Structure formats: C-alpha cells, structure tokens
Chains A and B, each alone.
Chain A
C-alpha cells in the first residue's frame, strides 16, 4: 500500500499496463512531450517512446476514430481527451462506430479501446468546460462507462478497463486528481460492473459515483452525529450497472437518495431512481430523492457555480426528506 494521489494511481495503472502488453498505446493532445495536460501521463513518453505515447493534433473526431480502428485491428489504445467536454467533437465516432461495430458485424469485431479524461465541473471554467456528460454515454448499449471515486478504485478500474475487450468510457475528475488515498502497489484489479458499499448503514441508502461520493461520505458523517446511519453505495461502474448491490441496500434501509452531478433530465441518476422505485416499490417508505445539478448551464461566478452543483447540505436535506425529518 502507498498513500498516493488519484493522478499517481492512474499513472501507475497506465504504466503497469503498458509494461505488461505492447498492444497498449496512449494517444491524445499533450500526452507526450507536455507530459499530459493534467500530468497523468508524466514520464511515459520517456519510458515508452513516441511510437506508444502519441501526441495528436487538436482533432478529437479524428484521433478518437483512429483509436477505434486501431482497436478493431488488434491494438489496445487508450485515447485521452483533455476533458470530456471535447469528446463532444468525437461523439459520432464513439456512438456510431465504437458502440456498434460488434453488433453490426454479427460479433466479428471487438473494440478494446479506453477513452478517458476529466468529466464534470471543476472551478471557474464556465458553461462549456464544466459539463458532467455521463448521461450521454451511459445511454448507449455497446459501451461500458466507469466512474471511480477513490485512487485505489481509479487504479484497479483503469487496469481492468484497459484489459476489457469493449470500448470503455473512463470518467475522471479534475477536482479528484490531487486527492490522496491508500492504493495497493503492483497488480490491483477492480472488476467492472461491481458496486461497493463505501459505508454501511441501516437508515437510508445513498447511491452515487465519481466525485460526489466524497460529499456523500461527508454528509453521512454529519448525519451520523444526528443519529442517522447512511449506507453509501458507490456504483464505480455506471454501465454495466450493478443493480443487485443497490437493491440489496434499499431493501435493508427502505429509503433511497441518488446523487449525480449531471443535470436531472434523463440522467444516470434519474434512471437509477426509476429502477429503485420500480424494483423496490414494496420496500420503500418514501419516494426516491434525486440530488443533481441545477437545470441550467454552468455560470462562471463561484457562488453561483457552487449553487448549481450538489452539495453536502443538499444531500443532507434530501436524506431528511426521505426520513420525513
């Protein structure tokens, strides 16, 4: 175990997988000579050379599709987007090609490519650079979507994503890169599609993933002081979704709050809330609550941008609502 940052954990995953398999290549804007816009790939160009750590021009549609073609032909590319916001330039390649090649070819092709980068709001970045885009990618069959909340999960899930034979969207967060946590050294794999109870509790289930999990854990701490025991379910993988872990928890607590930093309309959060409402109807003692971003583009002003996002206070309020306190 080492106490390292999320950034270092992701870098360890890339490094270990590149050392393990020469089919793994890394490509994207500034990943090589600049050592990564967020320094995830620091040192990798020096270690693996320009054939495997490939600096691309600012051409998201082009290099995303190149990653897909290389994957169909037998490589395991990791495509880094400087942020998920720029993936919108490449969305046709992800949706029309990566997600559908296997199905359209009757199972002849696999597309083992990982698309990764920071997702969701950071600070002061304004409307175009602060989007949480998981709702879009989670919509499409044929894609896997992974969203870890801790450095250890980041490493273990990224390694599993690279070894997976499907296209994987791996969602990170700028605000998480500097967060430290205990991470196993060397081989550490976390399977895709398996949620984890990050804190056990009996009174209410709070389901979340990625950056907001930290907020949920903080809220749980405050609520514990009020005598409310929160069970925190960290999805870790959005697709495939580990429904069983969610339902097992809700059947135990009879109450559920979902926290998703995307907008509320047709989101992962609203989908999970619907699944719980449908599946656990007889076990629920209150309607499922959703804590999401406000339904507005992100403002620049700091007070306003914080008001737009889920917060510890909003999570606590939602928990109080499902407990009628």
Chain B
C-alpha cells in the first residue's frame, strides 16, 4: 500500500501535504480500495472554512456515501473541480490528480498531531 513519506495522515484515511502555510488534502490509497470505485465527489467552495475533524465534503462510491473529514483547520483556497466530471481520478491517482482541496492553514502546528507515513503504515497493519 502506497503511503508517501511527505504526507501526514488521519485515522479516517485522509492525507495532507503541507506547502508553507497552505496544504493539499486527499484520501489515501487504502481508503480508495475500501470505498471501491468513486462515482461522485462534493467539495466546499473556495473561501469556505473547514475545521479539523469536521466533515468538509462527501465522497460516494457505487455502493455507499462517506464523509470527508478535514485533517486540519483553515480556509479553502481552491478545489479540484475536475473530479465532478471525472471522479475516477480519485481511484487512479489518490495522491496526484485525485487531490480534493487546497487550503490555507489557520494553525500549521495542527499537523504535528497527525500520523506520519511510518505511523500510518502501522495503523493500516491493524486494519
């Protein structure tokens, strides 16, 4: 299972990649495998506020609906609009083209409370 070393991870299988005061958010390859084929993604508009641990969007596979939980707090800078017409990018490239939102972090230190890749791999081993 691919878990890139430059990301932080939540117990709900979202990832976050910090770039200065901003960060990009998506879901992990493990989450994609559990969900199955993604057919619909609903994301917040730029400017929306997201709060750590609170749902910021919806992802739907063929079989079920899931909440997306924010790994950190902040304001949405941009969202991946290409997922509305081509949600299969989430399965095909969860850490690349399947990204969901880019956000400005209100407290970058929040990321210290998330798992690094090594810890996430340990967590997955227990799933």
- A and B assemble together: no
Interface residues of A, Cβ cutoff 8 Å to B: none
